[in-house]
């Protein structure tokens, strides 16, 4: 990690002065939006409260069921991955396999939901 940047340590994450948020292993997991002030006294409670609230809502709403809150996030993430693969294939004029892209997008979404929110989701 960069020792030059000021950092704030929150629950299992580190928020850098430049807005980058890293997990406890040092991997970048997010970035603050431009209008969030790093020096805000409310930063730690706002971020941790928001993540806790999201995590609780997703766990409470049957995340494995289609139509649940967690499942809707899963679908958005999966389709974003799928669309990125479609766009990449168009730019490079590569062959595109719909089934592979669909499977990879869903796998990526499942992994993200497990890592970020501790819930199991599937397509």
pTM over cut 0.75: no
Among residues 73, 80, 81, which one has the least CA distance to residue 122?
73
**Tens-place pLDDT, residues 75-107:** 999 999 999 999 888 888 878 888 999 999 999
HSE-CB of 86 using CA atoms within 13 angstroms:
10
């Amino acid at each position: 990690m960069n020792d030059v940047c000021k950092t704030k340590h929150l629950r299992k994450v580190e928020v850098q002065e430049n807005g980058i948020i890293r997990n406890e292993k040092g991997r970048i997991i997010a970035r603050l939006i431009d209008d969030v002030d790093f020096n805000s006294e409310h930063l730690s409670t706002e971020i941790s409260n928001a993540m806790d609230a999201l995590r609780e809502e997703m766990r409470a709403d049957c995340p494995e069921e289609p139509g649940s809150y967690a499942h809707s996030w899963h679908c958005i993430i999966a389709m974003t991955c799928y669309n990125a693969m479609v766009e990449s294939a168009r730019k490079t004029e590569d062959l595109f396999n719909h089934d592979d892209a669909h499977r990879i997008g869903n796998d990526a979404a499942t992994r993200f939901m497990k890592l970020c929110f501790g819930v199991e989701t599937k397509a």
